[in-house]
């Protein structure tokens, strides 16, 4: 608990500060790529953590190793952070021009016009000195519009289901019918790698297509892949095997099919035979003390029968021969999400605000991202019971579609726009912001 209280705020601070820092130290023509590189390291870390989880998934008390090993890269990051230079813009805002020049000399090509770059920064900061704080942010129409776009980007990144997929990928794979827990973790690692490799696609396209096209294309692909996942779960529910011996002793677990049975969090589908040739089946109350791997009564309460493979207790999944389509949809989802909706909310938010409003606006939008993340994560399992699995993914698909419509009309192209010119971009009429 104490570790979570420390790690939580630290993650929040880092997710706000790192994209802003990278944006401020980057030359305008490379700003998009450099901020996407941050996401490459994040998604790469997720793949490594998934592989580590797979390695220790069959080790007794392996979760302790999973958590403990995470401290090593954190220590390396702490050491590396000590050698980071301050942002030149921050140094200039504190009157430390000479230090800003030294930083730029280290991170710019030798033929760069550093004097002109510093003068541009100083001119922009001179205009910003009298405007600070949330009241000034809300009273400035261009900044207010930028904050709306930035907030919506962070909101739709989460409510289109990404962290449901990342946090519960192993559970989703199990829902699709993969019963071996270790195999589910390894498949989760494989799908996470799609997120990692897809981010490289974003790195290649961000300065070619631009932020707007990449975001819209990503949302379209996200919608289609969510449709595949939702349709697969729906077909698995409709075509789920029948219950040959309805449980008349339990009103709560009385069901005529596996789909109806497993849609109840307190029940599981118990069957004899294999998934392709079910001999007898019933719906039984789950024994929660066995981590939902056995029933309270009946055939599936006998651990010997379960271990010998004579019976199977399907909790939260049903035998379905096309379950692989859901895993394919999951992989395509990550491949479509990772180039655009993964990094673009962070990239765009790090560059669309004037210097005097950047810290305030970025902290607001980062809070929206983490709040939406929390809500989506807490509600996923409850929603799968209320709306059924396919209903939840249809809902995420609809939200992604709503985001696509909103950003088609609101999201401007910021590629090639200097940080000091962003306020002018949002001062233009809405229709002219897309002409890049």
pLDDT at position 193: 84
Give the per-residue pLDDT at 280: 92
Domains of the chain: 2-84+130-235+323-434 (1.20.1250.20), 240-314 (no CATH)
Residue 54 confidence (pLDDT):
72
Check residue 275 and give its pLDDT.
82
> Across the 436 residues of the chain, what is the mean pLDDT of every consecutive 10-residue run?
61 74 80 81 79 72 73 84 86 87 88 85 69 79 94 96 76 69 74 85 88 95 94 90 84 90 91 88 92 90 91 88 84 92 91 85 92 91 88 95 96 85 81 60
CA dist 385 and 367 (Å) reads 28
Determine the pLDDT at residue 281. Answer: 94
pLDDT score at 242: 93
The pLDDT value given to residue 133: 74
Q: Which pTM value belongs to this model?
A: 0.80
Query: pLDDT by residue (tens digit) across 328-341?
Result: 888 899 999 999 99
What confidence score (pLDDT) does residue 73 get?
82
Question: Alpha-carbon distance 185 to 148, whole Å?
Answer: 38
């Amino acid at each position: 608990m104490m570790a979570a209280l420390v790690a939580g705020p630290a993650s929040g601070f880092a997710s706000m500060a790192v994209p802003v820092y990278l944006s401020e130290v980057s030359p305008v023509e490379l700003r998009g790529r450099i901020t996407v590189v941050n996401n490459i390291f994040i998604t790469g870390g997720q793949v490594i953590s998934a592989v580590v989880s797979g390695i220790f998934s069959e080790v007794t008390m392996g979760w302790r190793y999973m958590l403990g090993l995470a401290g090593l890269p954190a220590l390396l990051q702490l050491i590396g952070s000590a050698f980071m230079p301050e942002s030149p813009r921050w140094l200039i805002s504190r009157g430390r021009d000479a230090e800003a020049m030294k930083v730029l000399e280290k991170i710019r090509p030798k033929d760069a016009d550093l004097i002109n770059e510093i003068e541009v920064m100083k001119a922009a900061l001179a205009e910003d000195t009298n405007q600070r704080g949330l009241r000034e942010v809300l009273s400035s129409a261009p900044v207010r519009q930028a904050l709306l776009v930035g907030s919506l980007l962070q909101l739709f990144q989460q409510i289109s289901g990404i962290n449901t997929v990342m946090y519960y990928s192993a559970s989703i794979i199990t829902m699709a019918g993969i019963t071996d827990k270790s195999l589910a973790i390894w498949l989760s690692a494989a799908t996470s790698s799609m997120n990692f490799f897809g981010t490289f696609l974003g790195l290649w396209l961000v300065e070619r297509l631009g932020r707007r096209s990449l975001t819209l294309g990503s949302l379209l692909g996200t919608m289609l892949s969510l449709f595949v996942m939702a349709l697969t779960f729906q077909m698995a529910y409709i075509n789920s095997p029948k219950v040959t011996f309805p449980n008349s002793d339990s009103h709560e677990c009385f069901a005529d099919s596996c789909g109806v049975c497993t849609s109840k969090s307190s029940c599981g589908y118990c069957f004899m035979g294999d998934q392709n040739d079910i001999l007898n089946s019933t719906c039984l109350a789950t024994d929660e003390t066995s981590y939902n791997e056995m029933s309270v009564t009946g055939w599936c309460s006998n651990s010997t029968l379960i271990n010998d493979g004579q019976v199977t207790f399907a909790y939260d999944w049903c035998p379905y021969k096309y379950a692989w389509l859901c895993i394919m949809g999951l992989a395509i989802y990550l491949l479509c999400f990772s180039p655009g909706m993964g990094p673009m909310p962070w990239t765009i938010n790090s560059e669309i605000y004037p210097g005097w409003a950047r810290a305030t606006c970025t902290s607001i939008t980062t809070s929206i991202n983490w709040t939406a993340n929390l809500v989506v994560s807490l509600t996923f399992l409850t929603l799968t019971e209320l709306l059924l699995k396919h209903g939840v993914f249809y809902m995420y698909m609809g939200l992604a579609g709503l985001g696509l419509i909103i950003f088609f009309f609101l999201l401007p192209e910021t590629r090639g726009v200097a940080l000091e010119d962003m306020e002018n971009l949002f001062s233009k009429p809405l229709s002219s912001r897309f002409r890049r």
